[in-house]
A and B are shown apart, each in its own frame.
Chain A
Amino acid sequence: MHINWWTLALQTINVLVLVWLLSRFLYTPVLAAIAARQAAADKLLADAEAARVAATAQEATLKARTDAFAADAERRRAEVQAGADADRARLLDQAKQEVADLHKEAESAAGEERKKAQATLEVDAATLAGQMAAKLLDRLPGDITTEAMFRALVDRLATLLKEERDRLATGSLQVITPGTLSDQDRARFGFALAAALPGLTAPVFAVDPELIAGFELRTPQMVLRNSWRADLDDLLHALREDAHARTG
């Protein structure tokens, strides 16, 4: 067996040179390319991560803004709701007040109407009563009625206080009758009145058909009613008082 030492040395040098050559022209460039691609991939990943972080931050910002908008909208809605509630309550109170006022006005108007109707009815009743009394009176002899009413007047004068009689006697007395008296009746009633009212001067006779029957004595200081009209008025007044007492 023979070893060619020159060949061994040359081959050793050749392989070492080839190591250097391939390191220079193969491994270094390829490893650099791989490293560059890795760096690019890392950069891409870093950029993507940065973009993701930025997107997350932007999302958080937008969410915060949306939440703020929602909160503001909720606050505004609450304010509008509160305002609407206040307006509704105010309008409701106002409407209730107006209804109460209208109700009160209606009651007042109804009371007025009722009073007017009642007054009208009273007038109508008084008129009707007067007419009825007049018709009833027509069936009686006028002298009898006049005499009876005059006696009632004299009796009434007798029940008066002296001061009241003096007041009637001292004034210019006016004697009102429903119809015209004859001169004879005027004289007779004048004497009778003078007897009942000492100091009486000659009275003045006047006619008022409203009296229906009876006499009324009038002075500037006093009026003494003694007629059917006065009796009917008294009756109507008593009826009205009784109705007021019953309706409360």
Chain B
Amino acid sequence: MKIASPLITHTLFTLGPVPITTPVVTTWAIMAVLTLGAWAATRRLALRPSRLQAGLEVIVDMISGQIRETMDAPPAPYLPLIGTLFIFVLVANWSSLIPGVEPPTAALETDAALALIVFGATIFFGVRAVGPGHYLLTFAQPSLFMVPLNVVELFTRSFSLTVRLFGNVMSGVFMIGIVLSLAGLLVPIPLMALELLTGAVQAYIFGALAMVFIGSAIGEASQREAKT
């Protein structure tokens, strides 16, 4: 049995010049499921919550609490981004449990896209919090000699986000594929269970690192708000 390289994405079809690859289609499916599920679950919200509503509120409240504790800032502006990153990465990682589905996070482009969004969000929220000039000045902290290092760090940590998520998910998928090709149907199940845990941990780590990066960019403004 021939195992495909995890660095290659398969093009399913093309829309004009745009090749539509498997991760994109899987992502669309995940988006559809999440959106329809959210729409269906939040159609009839009430003061007396159902179990589903209570579960949703627990998830949203838990993410808000994490944002508040990690970023030391009001969670409302960051909840859509951080929450979506966490939920999408988690669902994408766990989508590998569906036979025949390769998680989009096992594709380098998806992880790079997520890291790129975090990169942009860090700059956006940092500039919005303290202003462009002051934000640029934060690169000179604690001294001017740190500017190159801080600039390099801005890119390397986004790159590390990409590589970390891609490496963990891709390795899991690749290992399960190898074991599955060697040992048959039931042998990979423990590895798949381990992949569940790894996927959840990676989703949490990705979200937590996104919070840390954005939090460090708005840190000065948050401290100023906290003082006031």
Listed in ascending order, the chain A residues whose CB lies under 8 Å from chain B are: 1-12, 14-23, 25-27, 29-34, 36-37, 40
Q: A120 CB to closest chain B CB, in angstroms? A: 116
A-B contact pairs, 18 of them (CB 8 A): A2-B7, A3-B109, A4-B9, A6-B19, A7-B19, A7-B21, A7-B107, A8-B116, A11-B107, A11-B110, A14-B28, A15-B27, A18-B30, A18-B84, A22-B35, A23-B84, A27-B83, A33-B47
Would you call the interface of chain A mostly helix, strand, loop, or mixed? helix
Closest A residue, CB atoms, query B27: A14
Chain A CB within 8 A of B108 CB = yes
Q: Are B76 and A31 in contact (CB under 8 A)?
A: yes
Q: Contact check, B35 vs A18: say whether CB atoms are below 8 A apart.
A: yes
Contact residues in B for A20 (Cβ distance below 8 Å):
80
B140 contacts partner chain A, Cβ-Cβ < 8 Å: no
B 74-90 binary contact with A (CB < 8 Å = 1; else 0): 00100111011101100
Q: Which of B28, B34, B42 contacts A30 (CB 8 A)?
A: B42
Chain B residues, CB < 8 A from A15: 27, 84-85, 88, 113-114, 117
| Residue B186, interface by CB 8 Å | no
Q: A30-B57, A36-B47 are in contact. Are A22 and B8 (CB under 8 A)?
A: no
CA distance A14 to B56 in the complex (A): 23
Query: Which interface residue of B28, B79, B108, B113 has the most chain A CB atoms within 10 A?
Result: B113
Is B145's beta carbon under 8 Å from chain A?
no
Instruction: Tell me whether B83 and A6 are in contact (CB under 8 A).
Output: no
Question: Quick check: is B49 within 8 A (CB to CB) of the other chain?
Answer: yes
Question: Lowest 6 A-B CB distances belong to which pairs?
Answer: A11-B113, A23-B80, A26-B38, A29-B42, A7-B109, A12-B113
CB <8 Å contact, A22 and B83 = yes
A18→B35 CA distance, assembly (Å):
8
CA distance A23 to B82 in the complex (A): 11
Residues of B within 8 A of A11 (CB): 23-24, 27, 104, 107, 109-110, 112-114
**Residues of the B chain whose Cβ atoms lie less than 8 Å from the Cβ of A23:** 80, 84
Q: With contacts A2-B7, A4-B9, A18-B84 known, is A12 near B107, CB below 8 A?
A: no
Contact of B80 among A2, A3, A22, A32 (CB under 8 A): A22
A8 in complex: contacting residue of B30, B34, B57, B113, CB < 8 Å:
B113
Answer whether A34 and B61 are a contact pair too, CB < 8 Å, given A11-B104, A18-B84: yes
Decide: A34 near B113, CB < 8 A? Known: A2-B8, A18-B84: no
Complex contacts, B56 vs chain A, CB 8 Å: 26, 30
Residue of A nearest to B116 (CB): A12
What B residues does A27 contact at CB under 8 A?
A: 60, 79-80, 83
